[in-house]
Amino acid sequence: MRFAANLSMMFTERPFLDRFGAAAAAGFDAVEFLFPYDVPAERIRAALDAHGLTQALFNLPPGDWAAGERGIASLPGREAEFREGVATAIAYAKALGNRLLHCMAGIPPEGLERDAALATYTGNLRHAAAACAEAGLTLLVEPINNRDMPGYLMNGTALARRVIGEVGAPNLKLQLDLYHCQISEGDLATRIRANADLTAHVQIAGVPDRQEPDRGEVNYPYLFEVLAETGYRGFIGCEYRPRARTEDGLGWFHAASTRAAR
């Protein structure tokens, strides 16, 4: 198992660029985060290199996050903005060295029919997947639960498989967040096995509180074994909010890393 610290949620006791060193000191060799766009790519690249870290992935620009937008891929009339965001994300990925980009689907406005939102979404995904393919990148879709993000369009693995099939791009894959999947669907071992053919990135957090994956209703040590059995070799993103100081809650990580090294 290869774990990536999510620097948008972990080590937040420090300024963003200081979190890279903290992650490396804690034993991580990879990181991820939501968005890099407020920081010049060369400064992030320098932080990665200084601490021997691999960048796992980040998200395409989400629109107006402060106003509640969670991606614009399913919003009709925003196609030009979406394409500009794809180009920006690819430029950052080339600088940072990650091979994965996640495209947030968005929350369609009230009154927009679901089929219209899905048509806009699949059209934008076709463009983004083609642009990513030219850059040697893989594009991801991630189901997000509607408890945490009400109205989010991409909200289940069955829909993800359907959309990936409709787009038909070989570099369009699934980002399987087991926290979201447990809330929306449950039956996690079965979901992992059923979607192993499409899964290119996995994320974890404790359920129901999205804290360390060492308590709650999900048995992660067992699921790590299931992932290994399916042949998964990608990163596992630690996208959770620590209960207190990040380093004080990493016992689960050190235990998992020790088991993986045996």
pLDDT digits (tens, 9 = 90+) for 92-138: 999 999 999 999 999 999 999 999 999 999 999 999 999 999 999 99
What are the residues whose beta carbons fall under 8 Å from the beta carbon of 71, sequence distance 6 or more? 59, 60, 62, 63, 103, 104, 105, 106, 107
pLDDT-based confidence at 163, cuts 50/70/90? very high
For residue 137, give Cα distances in angstroms to 55, 89, 105: 13, 11, 18
Decide if 239 is catalytic.
yes
- In the chain, what is the straight-line distance between the N-terminal and C-terminal CA atoms, in Å? 11
- Read off the pLDDT band of 259 (50, 70, 90): confident
Which of 32, 113, 134, 239 is flagged as catalytic?
239
pLDDT band at 182; cut points 50, 70, 90: very high
Please compute the mean of the pLDDT values over residues 54-68 and round it to a whole number.
Answer: 97
Instruction: Report which of 38, 45, 44, 33 is spatially closest to residue 5, judged by C-alpha positions.
Output: 33
262 pLDDT band, cuts 50/70/90, is low
Instruction: DSSP letter for 34, please.
Output: S
Q: Is 142 a catalytic residue?
A: yes
Question: What pLDDT is recorded for position 150?
Answer: 97
Q: Which of 142, 166, 185, 225 is catalytic?
A: 142
pLDDT average, residue stretch 229-247 = 97
Give which of 76, 148, 80, 158 is closest to 118, Cα–Cα. 76
Q: What would the two tokens of residue 167 be?
A: 């787009």
Q: What is the pLDDT of residues 14-34, one digit of tens each?
A: 999 999 999 999 999 999 999
61 in Cβ contact with 88 (< 8 Å): yes
CA dist 206 and 188 (Å) reads 13
